[in-house]
A and B are shown apart, each in its own frame.
Chain A
Amino acid sequence: MTAQTMDKTPSTQVKALAPIAWKFPIVYTILALVSLIFFGLIGRDGETTFRVATGGDFFAIPDFAVSSTAAGLTLGILLVIMAAVSIYVAIKRIDIGSWFPMLFGVIFVLSFLAWAGGGSGGVIPLTTLLAGALALSVPLIFGAMCGLVGERSGIINIAIEGQLLAGAFLAAVVASVVKNPYAGLLAAPIAGALVAVVLTFFAVKYWVNQIIIGVVLNVLVVGITSFLYSTVLTQDPGLWNSRQKLPNLPIPLLSDIPVLGRVLFDQNILVYIMYVVVIALQIFVFRSKWGLRMRAVGEHPKAADTVGIKVNFTRVRNTLLAGAIAGLGGAFFTVGSGLAFGKEMSAGQGYIALAAMILGKWNPKGALFAALLFGFSKSLGNTLQSIGTPVANELLLMLPYIVTVFAVAGFVGRVRPPAAEGVPYVK
């Protein structure tokens, strides 16, 4: 800490130039060349059809077909130009903003899709692809928000997986018994918060290592839900585990926008709650008394205590809130998707949510995009599997995890967790 501040003092006198950041230009160049050579020059014969319309649109956009090689070439050249721009920008040390990598990513994915769809004469259903991406991201986003609130206040929450599963379970059971999916939506946060109660009980009262409790709680929740599923739920599925689906509530006007409108604004209430949660957290974590206290407790609990903030109370309250958020995310597996509860149906999504939170550097906005990235690549894998492409599904699904490893290893800048996370506070 002190060494860093010492380094900074003299640099205010002499304006030193930051070293040229070659990392990103190199990555852009490699990706651009891959795209140009493999998707463009080598390419695959045939046409790729992009399907945009889903039926019932306000104004229908016809499918458009492009030649796979031509599209690959055009987009490849575009990417090479962008890579050149990034090199120029890096040399001039201009901060270009986050739109550049996003645009680059979108064009790269398009060129990949044009290549993948060629040859097989496949139709790429763009809207379905995006809708699938959002659907797969919803639990991840809720989970990442849960982890974020917990860790910002100093409690490491590995139990997101368990909270998602508990939320899914209770939502399914309550919705099924009451015969109303909205009842399930009310029950899910309670389940998530209950897991958080156990977590904080052991973490705050008994100072048990938080990673240990998280891992063990995940096993416990899998055990309890699977046990009850095999005994109670399967005995009378009609009563305990019938399918209930939250209805879609299209927002007038907005949902009539082609492609994105259908994807974003023709959803059930859980997705709208997710929008609200993300926006609210982005504002309140950084711009409210609650957020300031939460961050203080997570960064320097002793200082927070000195100014009269109840450290452990703040931590417990925020972790319970976080648990409730994760529980809501779990509801998406069952009532949100109209499915009955199944054993271990969260399937490791809680761990991915954790990775999304870290990739997003403990920021709601960042975590949102990271979770969307995970969801998109999974949806892409599903789509490509169904149309049959040369790239193995598994390799695509592996991609986000590899990206995360690189990210955690410091490739996208230093990832710094809240300073006091995982450390029990003792006066």
Chain B
Amino acid sequence: MTTDISPAAPSAAPPPESETEDGKEQTLLQQIMSGSWLVSLLAIVLALLFGGVLIAVSNAEVVAAAENFFAAPGEFFATLFQTVGNAYSALFRGAVFDWDARTTERAIRPLTESMVSGTPLILTGLGIALAFRCGLFNIGGQGQVILGATIAGFLGYAMPLPPVVHMLVAAIGGIIGGAIWAGIAGVLKARTGANEVIVTIMLNSIAGYALGYLLKQNWFTHTTSANPQSRVIDDSAQMFLLLPPPFRLHFGFVIAILATIFVWWLLERSTIGFEFKAVGANPHAARTAGISVSKVTILVMIVAGALAGLGGAAQVLGTEYKLTSGISGSIGFDAITVALLGRSKPLGTFLAGLLFGAFKAGGYLMQSQTGTPIDIVLVVQSVIVLLIAAPPLVRSIFRLPTPVLKRKED
């Protein structure tokens, strides 16, 4: 195993042998940052192929045709391509453009649906990407989304305020909720060295139970119903629609765009962002240069949590309109893959969030029209990220040349 590793493997520079912490963080950063767009594209193609194989294997007609393969090979391939093709074309029609639709509105609605699904993913993904850039692994997106959604939702129905102001207050409540939740992990990491991975995983579960508890309390839900869900939020707190119904595209998407620009500005143009990146690249050097590593750690987590909390707020104020125990879905975990696919860059995360939103939106149509379960989307997404994390693997599959290392340390 040891000798197999090609010396030019570009995904990660050989980590320093002695110090553990920075070795871990450096390779993490380098893996996320390295690689090219071509590799990303090829990874998506490979993942779709893998998903296609899974769809074919689980399809009774394809299996039946395969049993007669030697009698009628043509029929086998025809069935194969038809089955997989149908599934993926339904996925595309559900995600981008529905050419089977009767009206123009219906035809272009899928694209806006992708944006709707993508909005919370982009916001939460930005939070996770930001933490990555600082060498922190924020697995707590889920908990931060739950906290953000809970506070935003509660303010949305419990506090009568004029329109727009109400929405902004609720959204800010969501930001604060997510910031506090991630801030706990940041403070513990900075003060006691507690591993942020474990703390955020624990905080995810705590947030889930806390929401479950609150949804059973009538003073919180403002309903008398025994169902664990809240009242519908006031109209004044809803994120207004950008297009008339049946479109569901709401103001949250604009917020997502603004947040992407904000994160770009933060990382590329601000002093504090420079400190974030410096700590992510090498905490020891950053400390020597006079940067307070613990301050940066806490601040990064707070900003990351704020973004994730905003994602939760967008979900409840823009799409769901009420709190349920499943309000966060799997946004927090999907956002990790979004951030990885986007290579932790703002624009990359934005596009990755759109792509995964498209998978989600298209998956529903695929499931209802062709009976292919939406779970295949999970498979495709995770294979994409696995492959992107290992560019040498993709390169060797497609026999691509390995890029020359720019800086080689001896």
Within 8 A of A (CB), among B193-213: 193-195, 197-199, 201-203, 205-206, 209-210, 212-213
Tell me, yes or no, whether B289 is within 8 Å of chain A by CB. Answer: no
A213 near B20 with CB under 8 A, answer: no
Q: Which residue of B lies closest to A232 (CB)?
A: B58
B403 to chain A, nearest CB (A): 15
Tell me, yes or no, whether B2 is within 8 Å of chain A by CB. Answer: yes
- 18 residue pairs A–B, Cβ–Cβ below 8 Å: A202-B386, A202-B389, A206-B390, A209-B31, A216-B340, A222-B375, A227-B54, A231-B59, A311-B2, A312-B1, A394-B213, A398-B205, A405-B188, A409-B191, A409-B192, A410-B192, A423-B15, A425-B2
Tell me, yes or no, whether B11 is within 8 Å of chain A by CB. Answer: yes
A220 near B378 with CB under 8 A, answer: yes
Chain B, 324-354, contact with A by CB distance < 8 Å: what is the 0/1 string?
0000000001001100100000000000000
B386 near A220 with CB under 8 A, answer: yes
The 6 closest A-B pairs by CB, nearest first: A223-B378, A230-B373, A223-B379, A231-B58, A226-B375, A394-B213
What are the residues of chain B within 8 A of A232 when measuring CB–CB? 58
Complex CA distance for A411 and B340, rounded to whole angstroms: 33
A205 near B378 with CB under 8 A, answer: no
B195 near A408 with CB under 8 A, answer: yes
A245 to chain B, nearest CB (A): 27
Q: How many residues of B contact A (CB 8 A)?
A: 63
Given contacts A226-B378, A312-B1, A409-B194, contact A219 B188 (CB under 8 A): no
| Given A220-B382, A409-B188; 16 other pairs, CB 8 A cutoff | A158-B197, A202-B393, A211-B137, A212-B31, A216-B389, A219-B337, A223-B376, A401-B202, A405-B194, A405-B203, A405-B206, A408-B188, A409-B191, A409-B192, A409-B199, A410-B194
A360 to chain B, nearest CB (A): 13
B375 near A230 with CB under 8 A, answer: yes
Given contacts A231-B373, A355-B201, A398-B206, contact A213 B15 (CB under 8 A): no
Q: Which residue of B lies closest to A381 (CB)?
A: B209
Complex CA distance for A310 and B17, rounded to whole angstroms: 16
Complex CA distance for A227 and B54, rounded to whole angstroms: 9
B219 to chain A, nearest CB (A): 14
Q: Pick from B20, B54, B191, B376: contact of A423, CB below 8 A.
A: B20
Tell me, yes or no, whether A89 is within 8 Å of chain B by CB. Answer: no
B199 to chain A, nearest CB (A): 6
Q: Which residue of B lies closest to A234 (CB)?
A: B373
A351 near B201 with CB under 8 A, answer: yes
Tell me, yes or no, whether A266 is within 8 Å of chain B by CB. Answer: no
Given contacts A222-B378, A223-B378, contact A392 B202 (CB under 8 A): no
Given contacts A208-B11, A220-B378, A227-B54, contact A422 B24 (CB under 8 A): yes
Tell me, yes or no, whether B131 is within 8 Å of chain A by CB. Answer: no
What are the residues of chain B within 8 A of A290 when measuring CB–CB? none
What are the residues of chain B within 8 A of A213 when measuring CB–CB? 386, 389
What are the residues of chain B within 8 A of A302 when measuring CB–CB? 17
Tell me, yes or no, whether A316 is within 8 Å of chain B by CB. Answer: yes
B389 near A355 with CB under 8 A, answer: no
A426 near B15 with CB under 8 A, answer: yes
A319 to chain B, nearest CB (A): 12
Within 8 A of A (CB), among B204-257: 205-206, 209-210, 212-213, 216
What are the residues of chain A within 8 A of B139 when measuring CB–CB? 215
Tell me, yes or no, whether B14 is within 8 Å of chain A by CB. Answer: yes
Q: Pick from A204, A422, A427: contact of B20, CB below 8 A.
A: A422
Within 8 A of B (CB), among A238-252: none
Tell me, yes or no, whether A424 is within 8 Å of chain B by CB. Answer: yes
A234 to chain B, nearest CB (A): 9
Tell me, yes or no, whether B12 is within 8 Å of chain A by CB. Answer: yes
Tell me, yes or no, whether A47 is within 8 Å of chain B by CB. Answer: no
Taking Cβ atoms with an 8 Å cutoff, the residues of B that contact A are 1-2, 4-5, 9, 11-12, 14-15, 17, 20, 23-24, 27-28, 31, 54, 58-60, 137, 139, 184, 188, 191-195, 197-199, 201-203, 205-206, 209-210, 212-213, 216, 333, 336-337, 340, 372-373, 375-383, 385-386, 389-390, 392-393
What are the residues of chain A within 8 A of B201 when measuring CB–CB? 351, 354-355
Tell me, yes or no, whether A61 is within 8 Å of chain B by CB. Answer: no
What are the residues of chain B within 8 A of A217 when measuring CB–CB? 382, 386
What are the residues of chain B within 8 A of A421 when measuring CB–CB? 20
B15 near A235 with CB under 8 A, answer: no
A209 near B386 with CB under 8 A, answer: no
Complex CA distance for A222 and B333, rounded to whole angstroms: 12
Q: Which residue of A lies closest to B14 (CB)?
A: A426
Tell me, yes or no, whether A313 is within 8 Å of chain B by CB. Answer: yes
Tell me, yes or no, whether A207 is within 8 Å of chain B by CB. Answer: yes
Complex CA distance for A207 and B2, rounded to whole angstroms: 11
Tell me, yes or no, whether A358 is within 8 Å of chain B by CB. Answer: yes
Tell me, yes or no, whether A419 is within 8 Å of chain B by CB. Answer: yes
What are the residues of chain B within 8 A of A425 when measuring CB–CB? 2
What are the residues of chain A within 8 A of B373 when measuring CB–CB? 226-227, 230-231
Q: Which residue of B lies closest to A212 (CB)?
A: B389
Complex CA distance for A168 and B407, rounded to whole angstroms: 47
Given contacts A227-B376, A232-B58, A312-B2, contact A206 B11 (CB under 8 A): yes
Q: Pick from A206, A313, A417, A426: contact of B393, CB below 8 A.
A: A206
What are the residues of chain A within 8 A of B390 when measuring CB–CB? 202, 206, 208
A361 to chain B, nearest CB (A): 13
Given contacts A226-B375, A231-B58, contact A209 B27 (CB under 8 A): yes
B210 near A394 with CB under 8 A, answer: yes
A394 near B212 with CB under 8 A, answer: yes
Tell me, yes or no, whether A390 is within 8 Å of chain B by CB. Answer: no
What are the residues of chain A within 8 A of B383 when measuring CB–CB? 220
Q: Which residue of A lies closest to B333 (CB)?
A: A219
Residue in A216, A232, A312, A419 with the greatest tally of chain B CB atoms within 10 Å: A216
Complex CA distance for A378 and B85, rounded to whole angstroms: 46
What are the residues of chain B within 8 A of A208 when measuring CB–CB? 11-12, 31, 389-390
A216 near B12 with CB under 8 A, answer: no
What are the residues of chain B within 8 A of A354 when measuring CB–CB? 198, 201
